[in-house]
A and B are shown apart, each in its own frame.
Chain A
Amino acid sequence: MLQMQNVSKVYRTELVETHALRQFDIHVREGEFVAVTGPSGSGKTTFLNIAGLLEELSGGSYLLDGVRAETLNDDQRSRLRNEKIGFIFQGFNLIPDLNLFDNVDVPLRYRGLPRAERKARIEAALEQVGLASRMKHYPAELSGGQQQRTAIARALAGEPRLLLADEPTGNLDSHMAREVMELLERLNADGATIVMVTHDPELAARAQRNVHVVDGQASELESVAMPLRTHVRDA
C-alpha cells in the first residue's frame, strides 16, 4: 500500500540545511494499523507530509498504492490525495465557516461527484461517526471529540485507501481520546489501512505495528500490542 525506500527530505533556508528525513524506509501493507512514533523533531510530521503527498521528497522513492509519487506534479498529487488518502489532523482542521455537512462535503466537491452521491456519502459518513443528527451544526458548537469525529467522517467520506492520522487524540481529553481511538480501531477492523503518527507510547501500543523515528530514520519495533481485533469485537 505504502512503500518508501531511501527517502530523504531536506529543508533549506538561507542559513541552514536541515535533514528532516534520511534513508527513510517504511512499508505498510493493506489493512495494517501502523503507529509511527518518535520524539518531537524526529521527523514524524515530515514523514506524514510526504506520505500524504503534502510535500515533495528530496530523494528516494515512494510508492503509494502502486503509483510513483515522486514523479507527480502538483495537480496530480492533489488528485491522488483526494482519492486515496483520508487525513485526520491533530487540530481537527474543520473549516469554521461551514457546518458539518459542508465540511464533510469539502473533499467530495473537489472530486466532482454528483450531488446525490455526495449527499449519500456525507450522511453515511456522519452516521458512521454518530453525528448524523448534527449535520447542520457549526464546528464551534461541538466538543473536541465531536469535532474530531467529524474530521474522521470527512476522511471516510471519500472512501480512501489509506487513513493518515496525525496525533488524532492530541487535543482531546482521555475520555474523548478513547472514543476516537475506538473508532479508528473499528475502521481498521472493517479493513481500512491506517498510519497514525503519535508521540504517545500508550496510543502507539494499540497499533499492530510500531515504527520508531529517530533523527529522520525509521526503525521497526516489535509490537507489544494487545490483540486489537478481540477488543473491537468486545465493543
Chain B
Amino acid sequence: MDIRPILSTLSRHKTAAGLIALEIALSCAIVSNAVFLIGNRLERMAQPSGVAETELVHILLAGTARDTDHPALAREDLAALRAVPGVRQVAAVNQVPFQSSSWNTSVNMQPDQTHPTLVATTYFGSEDLLETLGLRLVAGRDFQPDEYQEFAAFQRSGGESPIPSVILTQTLADRLFPDSEPLGQSIYAWGNRPSRVVGVVEHLIRPNDRLGAPNEREFSMLLPLLAPTEYGSRYLIRTNPERRGEVMEAALAALDRVNSSRIVIEEQAGTVEAFRDRYYQEDRAMAWLLVLVCVALLVVTALGIVGLASFWVQQRTRQIGVRRALGATRHQILGYFQTENFIIASFGIALGMALAYAINGLLMERYELPRLPWQYLPAGALTLWALGQLSVLGPARRAAAVPPAVATRSV
C-alpha cells in the first residue's frame, strides 16, 4: 500500500495524530528504561554471593560483660557449636553478606601512599571461615594456623604487628594486579605493614553491595584475624539445608550453656538465605512496581490508540463506504488503518528512542546506571509497533465491515 495519501490525510489531522505519536513516544521511552531498570535489579539480585547461602545459619549474641576473657569465650563457643549434631563447620565471623553494616579498609600498593588504591571489605573471624562460608579457592591456599592473631592484640599494636597474609577475591586480585600473578605479592591494608596474597577465591560479595559502584561488588578480602567478641559474638554454622532450623535451636541452647548472660539479637539470628531474601526485598518490590507501571503504560497507550482509531473509523464511515463502492476490498480498508497506525507509531517510536536515550542519560547521572544497551531500542520499537497493530485491529475490522452501500445513503 502506498503511504502518500495516508500521510496526506494524517497531515490534515496533525493534532490528534501528534498526540498519539507523543503518547507512544513517552511509553516507548519509559518502558525501555523501566525494562532496563528491571533487568538491572534482577541482575543484581542474581549475583552470586560466593557463600553457601542455603547451608548457613548465623547467630549474633551480645551483652558479654566487659571483663570477660573474650578469646577464651570464643574458643569455648566454637567448641560447643562443633559438638551440636548436624553441624558440618563452624566459624566466628565479623560480618556476613546481606547486611547493612560492614568492616571496610583502604588498600594501598605502597607503604605511605597518600591516596588509597581502593576500599575493600574485610572478612575475618576464626580458622575454618573460608570453608564454613563455602568459598571456592581458585588459586593458592587457605590461611595456616600460625598466621592467625587476636584482633584486639593486632589493634593494640597500633598496626605494627603485621598481618602476614591475605586472601583476595578474583575481582579484587584482577583490579589490584591487572598484569601479574597476585599470589606472593604484597598489599598494604590496615597499617603500614605488608600482607602477602596467599590465596584467591572465586566469589565473595560485600556485606552491603550498595556501597560503592556495581563493579566493586566483590571488593572483598579475608584476613587471618580472630573476631573480637567485644562487639558481640557472631558465628556462622554450616549444615545441611533441611537441618538448619533444628541446628539453629540446638546451637542457641549450646551457647546459652556456655554463658547464659548473653542476649540473642533476634533480627540477626537466621539463615543467610533469609538474609538475602530480606536484603533484596526492596529491589524485588521495585522490580514488580516497574513491571506494573510498564503494563499500565502499555494498556493506557493501547486504549488511547483504540479510542482514537475508533473515532476516526466513525468519522470516516462514509468515506470508507465510498472507498468500498469504488472497489476497495475489506482487506484494503483493514490495511489502510493498519498502515496509518504503523506510520503514527513509527513517528512516536523515533521520538521515543531519542527520549529513551535522554532519560537513560539522566538515570546514568543520578543512579550510576550503565548506558542503555542498544538492543533495548529495537525491542521497544517492536513492542510498540505490535501494540499499535494489535490495538488498531478492532477499529480497523469495524472499518472493514462498513458496507459499501453507505455511499449511496442520503445524508
Interface set of A (CB-CB < 8 Å, partner B): 45, 48-49, 52-55, 74-75, 78-79, 81-83, 87, 89-91, 93, 95-99, 102, 105-107, 109-111, 154, 158, 166
Contacts and interface: CB of A to CB of B under 8 A. Distances in A.
A110 B329 contact: yes
A144 to B, nearest CB: 13
B2 interface: yes
Nearest to A90: B410
Contact of B407 (A79, A93, A107): A93
B327 A78 contact: yes
B407 A54 contact: yes
Contacts of A79: 327, 329
A109 B405 contact: no
A55 B403 contact: yes
B39 interface: no
A87 B324 CA distance: 11
Contacts of A53: 404
Contacts of A45: 408-410
B326 interface: yes
Given A52-B325, A81-B325, A105-B5, A75 B330 contact: yes
Given A81-B325, A110-B327, A166 B332 contact: no
A75 B323 contact: no
B326 A74 contact: no
11 contacts: A45-B408, A49-B408, A54-B325, A78-B330, A79-B327, A93-B321, A93-B407, A105-B5, A109-B2, A109-B5, A110-B326
Nearest to B11: A97
Pairs of residues from A and B, 6 with the lowest C-beta to C-beta distance, nearest first: A82-B327, A97-B9, A54-B404, A107-B326, A78-B329, A54-B405
B176 interface: no
Contacts, number: 95
Contacts of B331: 75
Nearest to B2: A109
Contacts of B5: 98, 102, 105-106, 109
A83 B318 CA distance: 21
A78 B318 contact: no
A34 B329 CA distance: 28
Given A75-B330, A110-B326, A110-B327, A81 B404 contact: yes
A53 B329 CA distance: 12
Nearest to A50: B405
**Which of A48, A95, A111, A154 has its CB near the most chain B CB atoms (within 10 A)?**
A95
Nearest to A49: B405
Contacts of B408: 45, 48-49, 52, 54, 89-90, 166
Given A54-B408, A55-B405, A87 B326 contact: yes
A110 B326 CA distance: 8
Contacts of A54: 324-325, 403-405, 407-408
A158 B324 CA distance: 15
B366 interface: no
Interface in B392-411: 403-405, 407-411
Nearest to B323: A106
Nearest to B404: A54
B112 to A, nearest CB: 80
